[in-house]
Chain A
Amino acid sequence: MNLYEYEAKEIFADYGITIPPGVRITKPEQLAAIHFGYPLTLKCQVLTGGRGKAGGIKFGKDLKDAQALAKDLLQLSIKGIKTDSLLVEPKVAIAKELYLAVTLDRSRGCPIFIASAEGGVEIESSGKVVTMPIPYPFHPYVARELAKQLGLSKKVLNKVADIATKLYQCYDEMDLDLAEINPLVITEGDDVLALDGKIIVNDDSIDRHPEFQGWEKDHLAGLSDREARAKMLGLNLVELDGNIGILCNGAGLTMATMDMVKYFGGEPANFLDVGGGSDKDKTLFALDIVNENPDVKVILLNILGGITACDEVAGALIEFIKQNPHRQMVVRLRGNNQDKAAQMLAESGLKLIPDLETAVKEAVAKSKSNASTKEVAKV
């Protein structure tokens, strides 16, 4: 779950990381009540990166100027995502900009610090990135070593090390995928503060954080309506541009099925892993949500029931077919109680195809045929 900058900064502040004073506004008129003095920084609050480049940060030189800018910024969409609000802060006199982040390093299997003495816009293009594995258990000397490697000294070294320590504590205790400060600025008075903040909360950890309960529905940027609804029900749906709706059990098998569809000349409309499949209601919801996509011409259901009982999947399918008799379907079911499932499905006019390759080819053929979708699929 991606958080807004203002939310990330509030969390950083809770950990004792210095942030500039700021007020969040949703209307230009609210600027009149802000007394930071001018110039003011106005920043779009939007759940995507590339904000600076897209013109989502402006500086107002007086109230009138700031209100005009705020009016435009509040209507700005960045990468198709609407601006939620503006964060208003006094403009800071910057002596130096750093980059500092904590994230998980999958190859090393542990969290790492990523830092650069050249903060600002694009960390990827900076040649001076320092990465440092964070041992468990953590001790603050790791953060001092990091500050040293950034070429810092004296008071600033200790201040940056202190912030790095706090950033790791925040990352660890709040179960984050990413805690990032870019830029971390050193002011002309040698103060160190987080001018921007980015937090990604780990999705699997949200349930053990009471402070994040109910946040997910407001932080679903970048998902289609159907993807968002699936996510709220614990299903992983990824929509694509094709016309073959895909439902499988298991992430790897679902990807492999998509790949086969493409390999045999078809176009997958989505990725959807229905998981164990024994939950009839969940399977039915999964079928419904794929069925809702107007681009879908045929649904390919591929269940390899090692543990999943095929007859239970068949139960959900039969109910779906009753409600959607005209939907073209290709069903590949294999595993426990397969024969029973085949018999159940036969009565609904659906044939069960045990072989995966045959099923995929069948689905591709149907996706290309001009046959009316009103004809009940009989294969």
Chain B
Amino acid sequence: MILVNKETKVIVQGATGKMGAAHTKRMIDYGTKVVAGVTPGKGGETIHGVPVYDTVAEAVRATGADCSVSFVPPYLALDGGCEAIEAGVGLVCVITEGIPPNDTAKLVAEAKRKGTQLVGPNCPGIISPGASLIGILPGNIFKPGKIGMISRSGTLTYEIALALSENGQGQSTCVGIGGDPVKGMGNLELLSMFNDDPGTELIVLIGEIGGTAEEEAAAYIKKNIRKPVVAYIAGQTAPPGKRMGHAGAVIEGGKGTAESKMKAFKEVGIEVAVTPIEVVELVNKASKQLVSK
């Protein structure tokens, strides 16, 4: 597994809000070590048995937390993200959707400067099944196993993970990198981490229209990745020039089509599923080849 494990100590920023509170409970129920909540002005309270602090720095000092998951509202998310980075947590995962991209670009710059791992924003979070759940993913869908997943989409990840789990193909870690045009960790960093992770045998990469991240991933895989990769791209029927739900899912000036991405993968010998269900077939096929090796 990568990024998060049983030992990961998690702070929830915005833990007392409606969404933050609900998911704090879900994370605790899953077995995640949630050590603190942070809501300015609510220091001293508790949420689902977890102490709440006014600042991230204070929470980190008191608990030794190494990860923060943020439910902070969009226009405060840059501030909250910078606070977590400055407080020294190594991993910041931003769930919040609708953050102005200029704020995200600044947050990404701050994370780079400090060497902080940033996941998201506009993402469902990270799960290492059976060990730790960070964010809003439905834990019951995921099963422990050897597939590493990287995805730009939340519910599509659940759909594919569900199909994999039901077919006995568990996951080492699933990372929702988010649907925004600018984000923290991308395909390349995560591919590299999965490649080095002894618990991961096979990587599933779920992309969608918009940008060139999948084309870049294809070139990177060819050069650097030893493990089999199965890809799926959503938006094969999306019309150009229209934003498809995610801020980053748009074909602009003829760039970012599903066709271009699928072609890029196929050209370097990566299997590309046409439907989410076909991902399972391709994973089964790749697993058999691994065994026969």
| Partner-B contacts on A (CB < 8 A) | 104, 106-107, 109-111, 124, 135-136, 171-172, 175, 177, 202-205, 207-208, 236, 238, 240, 248-256, 258-263, 268, 271, 273, 304, 306-307, 334-336, 356-357
Contacts and interface: CB of A to CB of B under 8 A. Distances in A.
Contact of A356 (B236, B242, B247, B276): B276
Contact of A236 (B206, B234, B245): B245
Contact of B101 (A177, A254, A271): A177
Q: Describe B's contact surface by its main secondary structure.
A: loop
Contacts of B277: 356-357
B234 A307 contact: no
Given A104-B182, A250-B154, A357-B275, A259 B236 contact: yes
Contacts of B243: 236, 238
B288 to A, nearest CB: 22
Interface string B147-173: 000011111111100100000000000
Contacts of B102: 104, 111, 171-172, 175, 202, 205
A252 B152 contact: yes
6 contacts: A124-B253, A251-B208, A252-B245, A253-B234, A260-B276, A306-B155
Nearest to B155: A250
Contacts of A124: 253
A20 B186 CA distance: 44
A107 B212 contact: yes
Contacts of B162: 304, 334
Residue of B159, B181, B238 contacting most chain A CB atoms (<10 Å): B159
Nearest to B23: A307
A134 to B, nearest CB: 9
Nearest to B154: A250
B105 A109 contact: yes
A255 B100 contact: no
A238 B108 contact: no
Contacts of B248: 106
Contacts of A249: 155
Interface of B: 26, 74-75, 98-102, 105-106, 108-109, 136-138, 141, 151-159, 162, 179, 181-183, 206, 208-213, 216, 232, 234-239, 242-249, 253, 258, 274-277
A44 B276 CA distance: 46
Given A204-B247, A236-B244, A255-B238, A111 B105 contact: yes
B53 to A, nearest CB: 26
Contact of B275 (A110, A238, A260): A260
Residue of A207, A256, A262 contacting most chain B CB atoms (<10 Å): A256
B218 to A, nearest CB: 14
Contact of A271 (B105, B236, B238): B238
Contacts of A109: 105, 108, 182-183
A136 B105 contact: yes
Q: Describe A's contact surface by its main secondary structure.
A: mixed
Given A256-B275, A357-B277, A136 B244 contact: no
A329 B44 CA distance: 51
Residue of B154, B213, B237, B248 contacting most chain A CB atoms (<10 Å): B237
B159 to A, nearest CB: 6
Residue of A109, A236, A258 contacting most chain B CB atoms (<10 Å): A109
Contacts of B182: 104, 106, 109-110
The 8 closest A-B CB pairs, nearest first, are A252-B153, A251-B245, A250-B155, A306-B138, A252-B156, A253-B155, A255-B234, A205-B100
A124 to B, nearest CB: 7
A104 B275 contact: no
B100 A251 contact: no
Contacts of B208: 251-252, 255
Contacts of B157: 252
Contacts of A135: 109
Nearest to A207: B75
A261 B236 CA distance: 11
B158 A251 contact: no
Given A106-B182, A258-B237, A259-B237, 7 more contacts: A107-B216, A109-B108, A136-B106, A204-B99, A252-B245, A258-B238, A261-B237
A307 B138 contact: yes
Given A136-B109, A204-B98, A250 B239 contact: no
A268 B235 CA distance: 12
B245 A240 contact: no
A217 B151 CA distance: 34
B149 to A, nearest CB: 13
A332 B141 CA distance: 17
Contacts of A336: 138
